[in-house]
Structure 1
């Protein structure tokens, strides 16, 4: 038991700093996005898991929130270069977009601060193809 606990990572190493302690000189936030789940694309659904480092995704917005430590923010998501985007502050670890027609698509995910400013170099673009034979599901869907 002692040997196993010696190699175990601490909660801070896995989850980051405690929200009760201000972080001095915070490292830059980082967004990691996985490729979309192929089985979902066959149904016209984009599911891509993500995670962030050095930032907490929470439903807090506005200029004053930029001063919070540890740092907070959320995601902005666009589809196929459309001129609109939506904010996702749910931190559910998966971007979910249903009803995509067959063909090529592009989803852009940006990590932003609480005042909607994009963090430098934290925009990830995922390109993919929904197969022609995809059974497109509109409205609710399941695994």
Structure 2
């Protein structure tokens, strides 16, 4: 597994910056082509609240509200992961794959991006 970090959105000067921590994928799941990646987020609460649905005021809530954007193998499309359960999906064919996870605020502004290489036997 390799991981890369990239900060994108500016942080507030009054509070600690949100931080995304990805754990290693579960090897027993990868053996079958499934991806199971535990994660945690510091200084932000993961909830399914979005500015375009719930109004711009959700971008000003304290603690900050956010979610993840998940992409596989450089695809333009992504899905939103707005819960604290591990990132879990299936099935990937054998080979090397790349998982990109963006930590975003309620207005989808990206705060941090991490990428991870996954090898499915």
- Do they superpose with TM above 0.5? yes
Q: How does 1:1-143 map to 2 (within 5 A)?
A: 25-62=14-51, 63-92=56-85, 94-119=86-111, 122-131=112-121
Number of residue-to-residue matches in the alignment: 105
What displacement does 1:64 show?
2.4
User: Cα deviation per residue 1:18-54 (whole Å; 9 max; x = unaligned)?
Assistant: xxxxxx9220000000111111100001111000000
SS at match of 1:35: coil
- In 2, the alpha carbon distance for the partners of 1:43 and 1:113 equals 33
More strand by share: 2
TM-score w.r.t. the length of structure 1 is 0.71
* Larger RCO, structures 1/2 (Cα 8 Å, 6+ apart): 2
Largest Rg, 1 or 2: 1
SS at match of 1:73: strand
- In 2, the alpha carbon distance for the partners of 1:116 and 1:106 equals 21
Hey, what does 2:4 align to over in structure 1? none
SS at match of 2:75: coil
SS at match of 2:108: coil
- In 2, the alpha carbon distance for the partners of 1:74 and 1:52 equals 10
Q: Supply the RMSD in Å over aligned alpha carbons.
A: 1.2
Which runs of structure 1 show a deviation greater than 6 angstroms over 4 or more consecutive aligned residues? none
